Amino acid sequence: PAPTMSEQQSHSAYSEVTNSPLSSRHYRYLLVDVFTERRFSGNPLAVFTEARGLNTDLMQRIARELSHPETTFVFPPADNAYDYSVRIFTPHAELPAAGQSTIGTAFALAQERRVQAPLAQRLVFDEVAGPVSVSMVSPVTTMKQQLPRFGSVYPEPVDRLIAELAR
CA 2 to chain centre: 19
Catalytic residue flag (residue 50): no
Signed CA dihedral, 111, 117, 123, 124: sign only: negative
In the set 7, 37, 65, 70, the catalytic residue is: 70
- The set of catalytic residues is 70
